[in-house]
């Protein structure tokens, strides 16, 4: 079912990761709120055309996009039982340069079109069109088409003097993704003129999903970027912010999640990925899977990334599908809370909150009694999901927000008595059964430093063997 490859000849030593952490009881604090986004309706048309993508931030903003327009909604401190008004919108021109995907952080809106990357600072005064941080051609040769985008921001404007962000754009073939960096210094966001290529040596399709690992306690800690191809092959890249003049990063891990026997229309597909840390600070991957057409593809699953990096056998019991009694077969998307305690999933007609726990054989599994509630969220079209979900913790409570491309929004508040805030450690004990292993992930070579450009820039694409990388 699974097959994995490490980028180096990894040792085949196995480790026993026994997860022991405190779990909490949960209950719906109040009935979920079903709301709608304000959307323009044409005379005689009951429902407008669905949007092609959606995004959520952790600070109360929703973004939706049609082919040439992005709308942003601020639902914080508003009456969510009523229609949520559009705060502002952005028109992307020319019309032929259509939007492919969007991403949202606490301060930045990233838009990738057929040929460009646009980045705006949206939480500021004045017209958003005047706050363009970056505008650059993704590929001057027009041979690499963007498919997906994700953003990772550390720090927020107004909370500290310095903040930073990375944006990854998923594309096609062997140059699977491109990584861009940004920084807030003084009183403005700066776009660095560097560009890192995240390679997919065996990829012949496109990268339909990209995702980042969560922020670590130290600003310069290495982080992971994850990409999923349209044939459901997962690539993981390790990026070290302290390295300079990085040209290309090869995948530290490649996971093939297909059996290789089923046709595309029978196999189903991975619909979302989330890298997270368990309460004992071990990295895991959660993948939601839509088993459409009653296929025999894998179910939504959890995988410990440390085991895979070490070259563990593909049949490890720690690569674990979610129990059948906890979720359905048709999962639209999912996410994991930042404290590593809960999974939130969206299915057609229902949403679920799953409690994670340590498995007897090692690794993670989930309790068999999830909390369920009715959902009005639906895919935008047969081949377009446009569904997003987020979960934010606070003391004794969990706030869940989900949106679809048809303008439906769902808010749920889950009571989690005695759950501490996200920054508090809740480990009961950390077993030391495993043997520390050497670094098995590809290290990135360093070179000399260069300069940086700020504000809006247009960086021309060059041949891969002539890339000039300038660090931030």
* Separation between Cα atoms, residue 252 and residue 273, nearest integer Å: 17
pLDDT at 91: 93
The pLDDT, as a whole number, for residue 296 is: 66
- What is the pLDDT, as a whole number, of residue 187? 82
Q: What does the block give as tokens for 93?
A: 């021109």
Integer Cα distance of 351 and 57 in angstroms: 19
Q: What pLDDT is recorded for position 63?
A: 97
Cα 130 from Cα 289, distance rounded (Å): 40
Q: Is 289 exposed, middle or buried (0-12, 13-18, 19+ CB in 10 A)?
A: buried
The single-letter DSSP state of residue 294 is G
Count how many Cα atoms sit within 13 Å of the Cα of residue 320 in the half-sphere of its side chain.
19
Determine the Cα–Cα distance for residues 167 and 179; give it in Å rounded to an integer.
6
What are the pLDDT tens digits along the chain (472 aa)? Answer: 445 555 443 333 344 467 888 888 899 978 999 999 998 755 455 567 899 999 999 999 999 999 999 999 999 988 988 999 999 999 998 888 899 999 999 999 999 999 999 999 998 777 787 889 999 998 767 778 899 999 999 887 766 667 899 999 999 988 889 999 999 887 889 998 878 999 998 888 899 999 999 887 666 778 899 999 988 889 999 888 877 666 888 888 888 876 544 444 446 789 999 999 999 888 999 999 998 766 667 889 998 887 544 444 344 445 788 988 888 888 999 999 999 999 999 998 999 999 998 888 778 888 888 999 999 999 988 778 899 999 999 999 999 999 999 999 999 999 999 999 876 544 443 333 332 332 222 222 223 333 333 333 333 343 333 333 333 3
Output DSSP code: residue 421. Answer: P
Give the residue carrying structure tokens 């093939």: 256
Residues 6+ apart with CB under 8 A from 372: 350, 351, 352, 353
pLDDT at residue 159 in the model: 60
Sheet holding 283-290, edge to edge: 269-277, 283-290, 301-304, 320-321
pTM confidence score:
0.82
Q: What is the pLDDT of residue 308?
A: 45
Identify the CA nearest to 66 among candidates 44, 89, 43, 47.
89
Would you state the pLDDT for residue 318? 59
CB-count burial class (<10 Å; 0-12, 13-18, 19+) for 365: buried
**CA distance linking residue 346 with residue 349, whole number of Å:** 8
Residue 442, pLDDT score: 28
Alpha carbons 360 and 18: distance in angstroms, whole number: 8
CA atoms within 13 A on the CB side of 9: 0
- Among 449, 328, 422, 409, CA closest to 38: 409
Residue 350's pLDDT is 95
């Amino acid at each position: 079912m699974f097959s994995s490859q490490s980028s180096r000849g990894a040792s085949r030593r196995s480790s026993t990761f026994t997860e022991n952490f405190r779990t909490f009881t949960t209950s719906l604090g109040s009935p979920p709120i079903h709301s709608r986004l304000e959307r323009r309706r044409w005379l005689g048309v009951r429902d407008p055309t669905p949007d092609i993508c959606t995004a959520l931030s952790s600070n109360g903003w929703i973004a939706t996009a049609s082919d040439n327009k992005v709308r942003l909604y601020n639902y914080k401190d508003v009456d969510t039982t009523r229609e949520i008004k559009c705060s502002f919108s952005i028109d992307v021109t020319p019309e032929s340069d259509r939007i492919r995907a969007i991403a949202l952080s606490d301060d930045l809106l990233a838009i990738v079109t057929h040929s460009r990357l646009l980045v705006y600072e949206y939480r500021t005064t004045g017209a958003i069109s005047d706050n363009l941080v970056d505008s650059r051609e993704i590929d001057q040769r027009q041979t690499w088409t963007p498919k997906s985008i994700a953003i990772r921001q550390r720090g927020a404007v107004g909370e500290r003097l310095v903040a930073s962000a990375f944006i990854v754009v998923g594309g096609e073939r062997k140059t699977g993704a491109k990584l861009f960096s940004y920084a807030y210094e003084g009183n403005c966001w700066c776009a660095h003129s560097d560009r890192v290529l995240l390679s997919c040596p065996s990829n012949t399709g496109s990268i339909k999903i990209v995702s980042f690992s969560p922020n670590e306690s130290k600003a310069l800690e290495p982080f992971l970027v994850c990409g999923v191809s349209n044939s459901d092959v997962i690539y993981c890249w390790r990026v070290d912010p302290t390295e300079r003049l990085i040209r290309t990063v090869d995948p530290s891990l490649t996971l093939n999640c297909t059996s290789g026997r089923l046709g595309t229309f029978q196999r189903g597909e991975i619909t979302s990925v989330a890298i997270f840390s368990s309460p004992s600070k071990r990295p895991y991957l959660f993948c939601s899977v839509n088993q459409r057409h009653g296929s025999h593809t894998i179910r939504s699953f959890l995988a410990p990334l440390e085991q895979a990096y070490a070259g563990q056998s593909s049949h490890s019991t720690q690569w674990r599908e979610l129990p059948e009694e906890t979720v359905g077969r048709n999962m639209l998307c999912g996410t994991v809370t930042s404290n590593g305690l809960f999974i939130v999933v969206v299915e057609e007609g229902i949403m679920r909150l799953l409690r994670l726990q340590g498995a007897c054989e090692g690794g993670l599994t989930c309790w068999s009694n999830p909390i369920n509630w009715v959902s009005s969220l639906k895919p935008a079209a047969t081949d377009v999901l446009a569904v997003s979900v987020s979960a934010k913790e606070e003391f004794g409570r969990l706030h869940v927000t989900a949106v679809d491309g048809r303008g439906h929004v769902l808010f749920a508040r889950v009571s989690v008595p005695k759950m501490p805030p996200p920054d508090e450690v809740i480990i009961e004990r950390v077993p030391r059964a495993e043997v520390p292993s050497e670094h098995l992930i590809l290290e990135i070579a360093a070179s000399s430093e260069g300069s940086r450009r700020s504000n809006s820039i247009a960086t021309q694409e060059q041949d891969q063997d002539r890339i000039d990388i300038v660090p931030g």
